[in-house]
Amino acid sequence: MPIDPQIALGAALPSREFSWTPTDVQLYHLGLGAGARCTDPVELRYLDDSEPQVLPTFATVAPTLGETAAPRVSFPGVEIDLAKVVHGHQEVVVHKPIPPSGKAVSVGRISEVWDKGSNAVIVQEHTVTGADGEPLWTARSSIFAKGEGGFGGERGPSTKAELPDRAPDAELTTATLPQQALLYRLCGDRNPLHSDPEFAKAAGFPAPILHGLCTYGVVCKSLTDVLLDGDATRVAGFRAKFTGVLYPGETLRTKVWREADTLVAVVTAVDRDDAPVLGDVTLRIA
């Protein structure tokens, strides 16, 4: 059985010690397209050699920086073919601004396992603590496993965030690069779905798709740059649901609403008649 909920639910995931440097932060930001405005002092804050500001979404790659092997979906009670898996949602909550260099320990667990009938959803939660013992961030994510349901577990919630019933307060367009996935994968995600045309076709896509977490970071950066004066320390948390795919080189459209200390948004692909890309997007302002 690829999923055994009796073993998986609540299972501890291996802890991980890791570290990062300003160069790692620079590479991550470049993978999101930072530097396009190469003489803009605000933009160059992401790429400073010694003290770059750090987008909170860096948390999604910090523990796996430098890895060169394709990821495996192999956890206690879970063994799934990588080609059957897509990212469901991602959330990062930062407890204080992420420093430009540091050492940390990540401890994780499988917090939820849902049986959606023919498919399955597995939710992980990781807490990260710095070398000083203080919490840095909490990351929650889910994977959607096609064809792996039917194991008799609970179906789980089916919720969708409602957008405000008014015109958006802002609309952003953000171009991506044709080579963006090839650059972003250097941050540690070597899934061939994003680089190998034949693997992508076998998984049902006409071409390699951009990493969902790259799109996630690109949107967080766009919201930060346009609506938070380019100040990454004002982002307390960022969450999004992956509702579709983006192909490298396409342009994102982000419609944004301000709600108290929160920005809510929906993201589509301009090049494909505004096909869904990200939904339930929430940026919490510090």
Q: Measured between alpha carbons, how far is 17 from 231 in angstroms, rounded to an integer?
A: 28
Domains by residue range for the chain, with CATH: 5-285 (3.10.129.10)
Q: Is 13 exposed, middle or buried (0-12, 13-18, 19+ CB in 10 A)?
A: middle
129 neighbors 105 (Cβ within 8 angstroms):
yes
Q: Measured between alpha carbons, how far is 109 from 117 in angstroms, rounded to an integer?
A: 23
pLDDT attached to residue 1:
60
HSE on the CB side for 263, CA within 13 Å? 29
Q: Is 273 exposed, middle or buried (0-12, 13-18, 19+ CB in 10 A)?
A: exposed
pLDDT attached to residue 153:
84
Q: Measured between alpha carbons, how far is 130 from 18 in angstroms, rounded to an integer?
A: 10
Type of residue numbered 273: D
147-163 pLDDT, tens per residue? 888 888 888 887 777 89
227-277 pLDDT, tens per residue? 999 999 999 999 999 999 999 999 999 999 999 999 999 999 999 999 999
φ/ψ of residue 185, rounded to 5: -60, -20
pLDDT attached to residue 69:
78
Spans of the chain, pLDDT less than 50: none
Strand 135-145 to 85-94 pairing: antiparallel
257 neighbors 227 (Cβ within 8 angstroms):
no
Q: Which sequence positions are flagged as catalytic? A: 189, 194
Q: Measured between alpha carbons, how far is 197 from 205 in angstroms, rounded to an integer?
A: 9
Q: At what angle do helices 22-31 and 212-227 cross, to 10 degrees?
A: 90
pLDDT attached to residue 83:
75
Q: Measured between alpha carbons, how far is 130 from 151 in angstroms, rounded to an integer?
A: 38
Neighbours of 244 (CB within 10 A): 16
